[in-house]
Amino acid sequence: MAYPSNSLRVIYLNARSVKAVNYQRNKLVQLENLIHLNSPDILAITETWLNSDVRDQEVIPSDFATYRKDRQNTHANKTGGGVLLAVRTSVYSTRRVDLEPQDEIMVCEIKHPTFNKLAIVLCYRPPSGDLASFTANLSSVMEKVQREYRMCCLLGDFNIPRVDWHYCTAIGEGKEADFCDLINNNFLHQHNQIPSNKNHNLLDLIFSNCPERLSNIAELPADFDTDHTILEFTFKCKLHPKRGIPRKVYNYKRADWDGLRAHLDQTQLPLVIEQHQDVDPAWQSWHSTVSTAVDKFVPCRQLKDSTVPPWIDSDVRQLQNRKSTAWRKAKRTNSSSHWAKFRKLRNKLKNLLSKKYNTYLSSPSSTLKESPKQFWAFVRAKSKSKTLPPVVQLDSTIAQSPMEKSSLFNDYFYSTFTKPDKDTTYPTIDTGNFLLTGKMPTSFLSTRNVVKG
């Protein structure tokens, strides 16, 4: 299926655990394959069954901002449940904890300065949960959301089967009728008519207050072990995605060190920041001088970071395309031969992914002595977290760009800074040309020469 460039592609998954592992399946790997083979902009997951022992980067690739509300935060003594929303970092997003109740209801904001903000509300209501309490909490959330956002999308597993979702009317009287009133009073349209399970119950629902923007709802034939149908849809909006910045990689093994030293020796490097100087232009001057010299004498190339797993190669993608084509043909014709062909390709793809993944896992450990870089790259991919979230907020101020974030951190640290006493004395040093000689000075730079004021 082709997706318009000015739309968000959303995948919704009721996972019933994203971390289950046994001899037949590894659901974390299945989830990673689902993400990279289908390339969603937003991934919404209910029933994650996660807790604080599992880190975000173990579940979601690093090119997504991950927002979680685990079950332990809402029902401390009950396992299961939990919701997760992953938004690609090329899309501006932030979580609105201030709009959320205690239930498994999470609110995320998708925004850009040139178009109206979109609120995504992700919910999970367990079958045994009190529907009246859930309806009251969701009503409070939607009242706040509708007041602040012109566009909103409400989705999740609501576990309310006794409703005719074509007309959003309850079958009989009771708490279901109150939930339908909530939906109708907020002018929400229910888009999904694809049954959630083999019992043909419609439990996973997709609502919006702008039905003209939400389209292409379909079942996704992804290879993920769950008893719920995986859904995908698109949400039309005028997006201006953030562009990735290529990363410079320097080859210091081939650097002209003699030329670099001679060049810096002839350059007046600003090594000392005077007390009356502003630290920002002083740093920019030093950085510009050194960076220009490095660019001149050290070979480099520009790379774009990729988060696609090594085991998802051209063979896997080619087989994935064949499987998707067979799926669409089988759905259209409902022919037993076409369904058999689809199942054959699906099993072939699962076996190929499993084989390539196992080969990848065995490679770092077997070549640890010869190629430690590959081993530690795998460890970092599964353990490191992002240094900064996509959006940083201090009180009512929100920062998105690197400059805005650094200014916000500066404001915070300045507010907590305590000026030294007037009688404080500092050591003085002779900095010398230590950058050229490689020798550090005998004492550190004076604090008054480094910190403005």
CB 110 within 8 A of CB 141: no
Distances (CA, A) of 264 to 282, 300, 396: 17, 19, 45
Per-residue pLDDT, 76: 55
**In the prediction, which pLDDT does 96 show?**
92
Rounded to the nearest 10°, the torsion over CA 249, 252, 256, 258 is 130
Q: Is the pTM of this model over 0.85?
A: no
Q: Listing from the earlier edge strand, what are the strands of the sheet with 83-88?
A: 64-69, 83-88, 42-46, 7-14, 231-236, 214-219
Q: What is the secondary structure of 227-264 as a DSSP string?
A: SS--EEEEEE----PPPPPPEEEE-GGG--HHHHHHHH
Residue 286, C-beta contacts closer than 8 angstroms, at least 6 positions apart: 269, 270, 271
Rounded to 5, what percent of the chain is helix, strand, coil? 35, 20, 45
What pLDDT does 265 receive?
A: 81
The confidence score (pLDDT) of residue 131 equals: 92
- Report the topology of domain 7-236: Deoxyribonuclease I; Chain A (3.60.10)
Q: At what angle do helices 27-38 and 314-333 cross, to 10 degrees?
A: 80
pLDDT values of the chain reduced to their tens digit, one per residue, 453 residues:
444 457 889 999 999 998 876 545 688 888 989 999 998 999 999 999 998 888 888 899 888 999 999 986 555 566 789 999 999 988 888 999 999 998 899 999 987 655 578 999 999 999 988 999 999 999 999 999 999 998 999 999 999 988 888 888 888 777 899 999 999 999 999 999 999 988 888 999 999 999 999 999 999 988 898 989 999 999 987 655 555 567 788 888 899 999 988 888 887 766 666 666 677 777 888 888 888 888 889 998 877 666 677 778 888 888 888 988 898 888 888 899 998 998 899 888 888 888 888 887 776 655 656 666 666 666 666 665 555 666 677 777 877 777 888 888 888 887 777 766 666 666 655 544 444 444 444 443 333 333 333
Q: Locate CATH 3.60.10.10 in the chain.
A: 7-236
Work out the burial of residue 177: count CB atoms within 10 Å of its CB; fewer than 13 is exposed, 13-18 middle, 19 or more buried. Answer: middle
Q: What is the pLDDT of residue 428?
A: 59
Instruction: Give me the pLDDT at residue 384, please.
Output: 54
